[in-house]
A and B are shown apart, each in its own frame.
Chain A
Amino acid sequence: MAPRTVVRHQFDAVIVGAGGAGLMAALEASKRCRVAVVSKLYPTRSHTGTAQGGIGAALANVEPDSWEWHMFDTVKGSDYLADQDAVEAMCREAVEVVYDLEHMGLPFNRTPEGKIDQRRFGGHTKEFGKAPVRRSCYAADRTGHMILQTLYQQCIKQQVTFFDEYHLLDLLIEHGRCAGLVALCLATGELHVFHAKSVLLATGGFGRMFKVTSNAYTLTGDGCAVAFRRGVPLQDMEFFQFHPTGIYGLGILVTEGARGEGGVLRNGRGERFMERYAPTLLDLAPRDMISRAIYLEIRDGRGVDGKDYVHLDLRHLGRDVIEGKLPDIADFVRTYLGVDPVKELVPVQPTAHYAMGGLPTTLEAQVLADGVSRPLIGLYAAGECACVSVHGANRLGTNSLVDIVVFGRRGGRHMANALASMDWPTMPAAPEARAQDLIGRLTSPASGESAAQIRAELQQIMMDHVSVFRVGDGLKEALGGLSSLRSRYQHVAVRDRALQFNVELEEALELGYLLDLAWATAVAALARTESRGAHSREDFPKRDDANWLKHSLASLHDDTVALAYKPVRITKFPPKERTY
């Protein structure tokens, strides 16, 4: 195969990803330096746009609230695995960033006095757990859409430079420093080498390793995998959140805001089963608990019609609340199921939703080369691909949107400030060589397997053995399966040899990322012999603080995944039993 044309660029800073985290970083950094944003999707197609329920901040607009309560809820929700200094920074700054978003034009719903309206959300409470609190700032059920649109609008105003439909393939990391990246221009098939003093990854999550997911087809963990292959460890990969209410069979999300507005879950007998699992917060308990409760109901034969789903009951909310505050949800349910939520029950099942794990960073979004303390000069990560860690073992609803704007902004700011004292990193001899090679391996063989088949098997294995409940034997089986899929992947052949918009090639690349990340996930899950947050081991059902109050770090060494651990930073709230 002939080598591809190579085009070179130089920018002070390059941001990869144009979701909430990437755009926030771009806005902040581009005030003071030359920034390029590289994104495989048009910015407005990013998955931040699908976030529905809201962004949590203790504005206290409708009832008393404080950032400390928010911090407590986040720490408790994380099953005490979050780093409390990071949580504190996030919950304090949440208030300010929400006002910033409003000033940028975000059309939040309003109270009668004209302030930003707030609603209830799972795990968010007043007075350290006493009762639910209205903390989620929202714009109907399209809060993420409005955040993404608003940030993109501001980027246009600020004339940020975008490289739309450019796919990150490789990071240039040498001698503990990042010198830029290589991306594939989807429209032409050319390779673009970006020489940069610093790079920020904001490539989002990787829910597509599971069969049932709320995540976009394109959420394949690209940035995490590319850095992992370059020696950066991945933190807390065993923690993947399943959201309790995915539309049955499709995985499309029904926001927790639906329960925040008063919706309840019912099993096949019509019982409000959360009464038995979380007597205080009921249907607004955190997601890990509700997803497990649903699995247990189903396992005990109390699913609907003996099947693997339960019902979400919104009927008592009435037409006005449903159409006024949950219009998109109503539309999804009508379009995809032919069910009218005003009159009928909505079939739901847990859906793979959010990656708590990712690239370990400092509070300024600097990626940690050793996962513990040594920043990798010139490399940053923010948003779902990063692990600061503010979500620990289980993220609370509305906290990812806070995370992406708070740490996107912190990263952008730190990058811009650091640039002044940085010289230009030297470029490796043939910067595009690895990327050429990667593409060459997929597009040269005359025949081989299709990526689609391997992907389907991967998603099934992860769903069967690495989802809501896990057990040692199942995880071992999963690792066996993943290992054979990884060998088969070496023989994938992309049949389409086109240069322009080669979607088959892009999907094969994405499968490669997913395979690496699934592997790290399963290895970390097998090692953690306790249950904490979203990681629930049937053979080790209890949380074990004596041995496991620590973050995992998975790194790639000569084709094996090695694990290391580091302590959790605890400042204000010592671990307690977690009941709701």
Chain B
Amino acid sequence: MEIRIKIQRFDPERDEAPHWRQYQVGAQPMDRVLDVLHTVRWQHDGGLAFRRSCGHGICGSDAMEINGRNRLACKELVKSLRQPITVAPMRGFRVVKDLMVDMTAFFEKYRAVRPYLMTDDAPPEKERLQSPEQRERYDDTTKCILCGACTTACPSFWANGKFLGPAAIVQAHRFLMDSRDQGAEQRAGVLNDASGVWRCRTIFNCTDACPRGIQVTKAIGDVKKLLVARSASPDGPPARAQRAGGPPSA
């Protein structure tokens, strides 16, 4: 079958601004957008820049805007897409070339939530115990592959690039809900900050964009509730959030 695909191109060494190019290429019935991008690269234009590695939705390299929605190119079958298929880089980060964006700021926010297990106690000789029910509480957010699809689909992030964004909050959730973790105190500051969770207006774009099916908006909600509960409890930190838009009740 023939596929028409419009790709946003930008070569920083030649172009002043991004522009569109349309290609017509042959494709197999089961081809994914990634296969079509490869066909363009391998048969028409070797310079077409995009990231990819695993080819089946696990490494998080190839999130991009496909027909206006953030998707992994390796998981979108072309036969189910309206043509011409339009492919553009994720929004909100600097485009470095064609479909590649600079992910530095994304990973800075990731690091800001201290995405690692924090415990005060020395580990036991064997494993720490955790019941299947305790593990279930954070199972969903362990699926995150840090592709950036959620954060760059979020209108609050487009409006204010300082917003921590859904991906970093998902990572915080993964640890805050883990019965083994004791780092809630250290993480509360950045989450409660003016650029923290309260910028989320429950628009649900992130949940739609997540290629791993994570209930992102719900996870953000869980974190908000946790912060509210902490600020209400006598030994929790003072509530600093209200100025920045306030919790849902404000």
Q: A residues engaging B (CB < 8 A)?
A: 41-42, 44-47, 49-50, 59, 99, 102-105, 107-116, 139-140, 142, 145-146, 149, 153-154, 156-157, 187, 216-218, 249-250, 252, 328, 331-332, 335-337, 450, 452, 494-496, 498-504, 507
List 16 other contacts, CB 8 Å, given A99-B126, A498-B11: A47-B59, A50-B56, A99-B127, A110-B130, A114-B129, A115-B127, A142-B143, A156-B116, A217-B54, A250-B30, A252-B56, A328-B58, A332-B57, A450-B42, A494-B46, A496-B47
Neighbour of A504 across the interface among B46, B50, B77, B178, CB < 8 A: B46
Please report the total number of B residues contacting A with Cβ < 8 Å.
Answer: 58
Q: A109-B132, A154-B116 are in contact. Are A41 and B46 (CB under 8 A)?
A: no
* Residues of chain A contacted by B54 (CB below 8 angstroms): 45, 47, 49-50, 216-217
Contact indicator per residue, chain B 114-128, by CB within 8 Å of chain A (1) or not (0): 111100000101111
- With A and B bound together, what is the CA distance between A504 and B97 in angstroms? 13
Which residues on the A side are within 8 Å of B117 (C-beta)? Answer: 104-105, 153
* Cα–Cα distance between A205 and B127 once the two chains are bound (Å): 31
- What 3 pairs across the A-B complex have the smallest Cβ distances? A105-B117, A114-B129, A504-B46
Q: Give the complex CA separation of A495 and B46 in angstroms.
A: 7
A45–B60 CB distance below 8 A: yes
Q: A103 to B178, alpha carbons, bound, how many Å?
A: 13
Q: Let me know if B203 is at the binding interface, CB within 8 A.
A: no
Name the one of B97, B127, B145 contacting A145, with C-beta atoms under 8 angstroms: B145
Contact residues in B for A115 (Cβ distance below 8 Å):
126-127, 129
Residues of B within 8 A of A499 (CB): 13
Output the nearest chain B residue to A336 by Cβ-Cβ distance.
B30
* Complex interface bits, B30-60 against A, C-beta within 8 A gives 1, otherwise 0: 1010000000011100111111111111111
Complex contact A452–B47 (CB within 8 A): no
A50-B116 contact in complex given A217-B52, A335-B75, C-beta closer than 8 Å: no
Q: What's the Cα separation between A45 and B213 when bound, in Å?
A: 19
B77 touches A153 (CB 8 A): no
25 chain-A/chain-B pairs, Cβ below 8 angstroms: A45-B59, A59-B126, A103-B127, A104-B116, A105-B175, A105-B180, A107-B139, A110-B135, A114-B134, A139-B142, A140-B139, A154-B116, A156-B116, A216-B54, A250-B56, A331-B57, A335-B75, A336-B32, A496-B47, A498-B97, A500-B12, A501-B49, A502-B47, A503-B50, A504-B47
CA distance A121 to B57 in the complex (A): 24
Nearest-neighbor residue (CB-CB) of A154 within chain B: B116
Complex-state Cα separation, A154 to B139, whole angstroms: 19
Provide the residues of chain B in CB contact with A45, threshold 8 Å: 51, 53-54, 59-61
Which one of B49, B53, B103, B143 has the greatest number of beta carbons of chain A within 10 Å? B53
A103 touches B58 (CB 8 A): no
Cβ distance A145 to chain B, nearest Cβ, rounded Å: 6
Indicate if the CB atoms of B46 and A450 lie closer than 8 Å: yes
Cβ–Cβ < 8 Å partners of A49 in chain B: 54, 58-59, 145
Give, as a whole number of angstroms, the nearest-CB distance from A15 to chain B: 19
- What chain B residues lie within 8 Å of A154 (beta carbons)? 116
Query: Bound complex: CA of A121 vs CA of B4, how far in Å?
Result: 45
Q: Count chain B CB atoms within 10 A of each CB in A45, A102, A252, A328 and give the residue with the most.
A: A45
Chain A residues, Cβ within 8 Å of B181: 105
B56, A501: Cβ atoms closer than 8 Å: no
Which among A114, A142, A331, A504 has the highest number of chain B CB atoms within 10 Å?
A: A114
B249 beta carbon closer than 8 Å to chain A: no
Distance A79 CA – B125 CA, assembled complex (angstroms) = 35
Which chain A positions have C-beta within 8 A of B143?
A: 142, 145
A202 to chain B, nearest CB (A): 16
User: A336: which B residues are within 8 A, CB to CB?
Assistant: 30, 32, 56, 77
- Specify which chain A residues have a CB less than 8 angstroms from the CB of B43 in the assembled complex: 452
Q: Which of B13, B51, B129, B146 contacts A113, CB < 8 Å?
A: B129
Contact B13 A156 (CB under 8 A): no
Task: Check B142–A50 contact: CB distance below 8 A.
Answer: no
Q: How far is the CB of A53 from chain B (nearest CB, A)?
A: 14
Kindly provide the distance from the CB of B179 to the nearest chain A CB, expressed in whole angstroms.
10
A500 CB contact (under 8 Å) in B97, B129, B178: B97
Give the contacting residue for A109; candidates B56, B57, B135, B138; CB below 8 A.
Answer: B135
B53 cross-chain contacts in A, Cβ below 8 A: 41, 45-47, 216-218
CB distance from B204 to the nearest CB of A (A): 21
Q: Is B46 in contact with A216, judged by CB distance below 8 angstroms?
A: no
Candidate in A41, A335, A503, A507 with the most chain B CB atoms within 10 angstroms: A503
- Does B232 count as interface, using CB distance less than 8 angstroms? no
Determine how close the nearest CB of chain A comes to the CB of B29; give it in whole angstroms: 10
CB distance from B31 to the nearest CB of A (A): 10
- Looking at chain A's contact residues, the main secondary structure is loop
Contact B180 A498 (CB under 8 A): no
B156 to chain A, nearest CB (A): 24
Chain B residues 71-113 with CB under 8 Å of chain A are 75, 77, 96-97, 100, 103, 107, 111
How many Å lie between the Cα of A140 and that of B128 in the bound state? 18
Find out whether the CB atom of B96 lies under 8 angstroms from the CB atom of A501.
Answer: yes
B13 & A114 in contact (Cβ 8 Å cutoff) = no
Interface string of B1-34 (1 = CB under 8 A from A): 0000000000111000000000000000010100
Contact A500 B77 (CB under 8 A): no
Q: B49 contacts which chain A residues (CB < 8 A)? A: 501, 503
CB–CB A249/B130 < 8 A: no
Interface residue? B131 (CB, 8 A) = yes
Structural contact, A216 and B59, CB atoms closer than 8 A: yes
Closest residue of chain B to A498, judged by CB?
B13
Q: Which residues of B contact A337 (CB under 8 A)?
A: 30
Report if A156-B115 is in contact (Cβ < 8 Å); known contacts: A115-B129, A495-B46: yes
Q: How far is the CB of A293 from chain B (nearest CB, A)?
A: 25
- A164, chain B: closest CB distance, angstroms: 9
Q: How far is the CA of A194 from the CA of B145 in the complex (A)?
A: 30
Q: Which residues of B contact A331 (CB under 8 A)?
A: 57, 213
Query: Contacts of A156 on B, CB cut-off 8 Å?
Result: 111, 115-116
B47 partner residues in chain A, CB cutoff 8 A: 495-496, 498, 502-504
A337 to B126, CA, bound (A): 42
Q: How far is the CA of A111 from the CA of B126 in the complex (A)?
A: 14
Contact yes or no, A105 B178, CB < 8 A = yes
- In Å, the complex CA distance between A249 and B145 comes to 25
List chain A residues, Cβ under 8 A from B100.
501
Question: Whose C-beta in chain A lies nearest to the C-beta of B132?
Answer: A110
Bound CA–CA A83/B43 (angstroms)? 46
A108 proximity list for chain B (CB < 8 A)? 127
Find chain B residues with CB under 8 A from A500 CB. Answer: 12-13, 96-97
Say whether, besides A107-B135, A107-B178, A498-B47, A252 and B55 are in contact (CB < 8 Å).
Answer: yes
Complex-state Cα separation, A331 to B214, whole angstroms:
13
Query: Which residue of A250, A452, A501, A502 has the most chain B CB atoms within 10 A of its CB atom?
Result: A501
Q: Select from chain A the residue with minimum beta-carbon distance to B142.
A: A107
A46 to B61, CA, bound (A): 10
- A153 contacts B115, C-beta separation under 8 Å: yes
Q: Determine the distance from Cα of A46 to Cα of B58 in the docked complex, in whole angstroms.
A: 10
A residues in contact with B52, CB < 8 Å = 217
Asked if B96 and A116 make an inter-chain contact with CB atoms under 8 angstroms apart, the answer reads no
B131 & A44 in contact (Cβ 8 Å cutoff): no
- A452 cross-chain contacts in B, Cβ below 8 A: 41-43, 46
B59 / chain A contacts, CB cutoff of 8 Å: 41, 44-47, 49-50, 216
Interface centre among B97, B127, B146, by most chain A C-beta atoms within 10 angstroms, is: B127
B-side contacts of A249, CB under 8 Å: 30
> Bound state CA distance, A156 and B43, in angstroms?
40
Q: A49 CA to B59 CA in the complex, in Å? A: 7
